[in-house]
Amino acid sequence: MIRIPRAAAALAATAAVFALGGGTMATAAGPAPAHRTASPAVQAVVCTVNDNGVNYRGGPGTGYPVLGQVNRGQKMNARGTEGSWVMGDLWGGRTGVWIHRAYLDC
Convert the pLDDT of each residue in 26-47 to its tens digit.
444 445 445 444 445 667 899 9
Q: ∠ CA 106-89-80 to the nearest 5 degrees?
A: 60
Q: What domain range is 66 assigned to?
A: 45-105
Output the DSSP codes for 23-91. Answer: ----BTTBPPPS--PPPPPPPPEEEEE-SSSEEEESSSSTTSPEEEEE-TT-EEEEEEEETTEEEEEET
Q: Which range has the worst mean pLDDT, 7-11, 15-19, 56-60, 70-74?
A: 15-19
What pLDDT does 42 receive?
A: 61
Type of residue at 64: Y
DSSP 9: H
Does the predicted model carry a pTM greater than 0.75?
A: no
Residues 6+ apart with CB under 8 A from 13: none
Is 69 domain-assigned?
yes
Q: How many structural domains compose the chain?
A: 1
Is 57 domain-assigned?
yes
Pairwise pLDDT comparison (14 vs 84), residue with the higher score:
84
Q: Which range has the worst mean pLDDT, 16-25, 60-69, 89-98?
A: 16-25
CATH of the domain at 76: 2.30.30.40
Convert the pLDDT of each residue in 4-17 to its tens digit.
444 444 444 433 33
Is 36 domain-assigned?
no
